[in-house]
Structure 1
Amino acid sequence: MAAQLPEFPRLVFTVLEPISLLAGFFPAVLLPDWFIGEQLPSAASTTSAAVTANSRVVAQQLGNCYGLAFLVAIAVLYSTNEIRVVRNYLIALWIADIGHMAITYLALGHDRAVHVGAWNPMTWGNIGATMFLFLTRTSYLLGCFGPDRSQLELEKKKNKTK
């Protein structure tokens, strides 16, 4: 259960990350042309191809995946009492973070990827926010935030406040 996570990762994974998933869902589904155009900073675009019906469907399907990720996050983090399930979920996301950043890096190319000052908000989301989540997951999985709280500990705290 998310309540067993140390305070900082609990805030990041149960509040900030779901909000960021919705921030990906809505524009991709509702404003796919804008979403497609913002994937890379304009200086990184080598072609100015028009948005096609195919690319619009791909963007909206990606948005649907963000929506699914939001629902899975809520389901896992708010319904399970098994910290092992939460940890395995976070490991899966850790792996996906690497792929997400690698795909963006490859599309930008090394020079544009390291030129942080030229990033647009979408690039900050694709690399900056994902790197923050990746580092938070890494730190949590390595135990840098301290141990998880046990279910017994949580019950004792709950009984003291009654």
Structure 2
Amino acid sequence: MTSQLPAFPRFIFTVYEPITLIGGAIGGIFTPQYFVTEQTPTHIAAAYRWPEQSLLVTQQLGNMYFLAFLLGVLVLHATTEIKVVRAYLVALAIADVTHVGITCATLGLGNSLNVAGWNPVTWGNIGITTSLFVTRMAYFLGLFGPDGRKDLEHLKSS
């Protein structure tokens, strides 16, 4: 099915995005204290001992990143319907907006706009997520060219 996507969004959604999701999963599951500490550019000292509940929730978040990875790979490679792919990408676009919105609301305007002060986790939360959203919107607008949607076939023959 992914062969019906234009080349650039196909690479972004089937290779790049799954790699970023695996990165989030590994960070959350295997290094939860680091993952929590680095959520803000002005983080609490690494020596802070996080409560076990915080680490458990962080590991569960890592597991959700892994679930998102699996869903993405399986949906994009298993379906034969471009309609399903587009619905999946709409859901991700909505999640992109809420993810960045929550992050920016928590960081505040100053930290959100201080790109030079971002750490790797902030880059993931804002930078990578925003780039994925922009790519999704560009795909929906047809900026990468047409996909293999059958409902567009009649336009080609006109």
SS in structure 1 opposite 2:73? helix
- Residues 47-104 of structure 1: CA deviation (Å, up to 9, x unaligned): x964111110110010000000000001100011100000000000000000110111
> Are the aligned partners of 1:44 and 1:112 in contact in 2 as well (CA < 8 Å)?
no
Which runs of structure 1 show a deviation greater than 4 angstroms over 4 or more consecutive aligned residues?
A: none
| Equivalent residue number for residue 153 of structure 2 | none
Q: For 2:27 and 2:113, how far apart are their aligned partners in 1?
A: 26
> Are the aligned partners of 2:82 and 2:148 in contact in 1 as well (CA < 8 Å)?
no
| Equivalent residue number for residue 143 of structure 2 | 144
| Equivalent residue number for residue 102 of structure 1 | 101
1:36 aligns with 2:26: no
| Equivalent residue number for residue 118 of structure 2 | 119
**Normalising by structure 1, what TM-score?**
0.87
The within-5 A match list for 1:80-99 is: 80-99=79-98
Aligned residue identity for 2:56: V
Alpha-carbon distance, 1:27 to partner: 1.3
| TM-align CA RMSD | 1.6
Taking only the aligned residue pairs, the percentage that are identical comes to 50
Q: For 1:64 and 1:99, how far apart are their aligned partners in 2?
A: 19
| Equivalent residue number for residue 22 of structure 2 | 22
Q: For 1:78 and 1:88, how far apart are their aligned partners in 2?
A: 14
SS in structure 1 opposite 2:148? coil
**Normalising by structure 2, what TM-score?**
0.90
Alpha-carbon distance, 1:44 to partner: 5.7
Q: For 1:83 and 1:149, how far apart are their aligned partners in 2?
A: 7
Question: What are the ranges of 5 or more consecutive residues in structure 1 without an aligned counterpart?
Answer: 152-162
Q: For 2:139 and 2:43, how far apart are their aligned partners in 1?
A: 34
Q: For 1:49 and 1:55, how far apart are their aligned partners in 2?
A: 12
Q: For 1:131 and 1:29, how far apart are their aligned partners in 2?
A: 24
SS in structure 2 opposite 1:109? helix
Q: For 1:21 and 1:133, how far apart are their aligned partners in 2?
A: 12
| Equivalent residue number for residue 128 of structure 1 | 127
The within-5 A match list for 1:143-162 is: 143-149=142-148
| Equivalent residue number for residue 154 of structure 2 | none
SS in structure 2 opposite 1:124? helix
Q: For 1:76 and 1:140, how far apart are their aligned partners in 2?
A: 17
- How many residue pairs match? The answer is 149
Q: For 2:130 and 2:117, how far apart are their aligned partners in 1?
A: 17
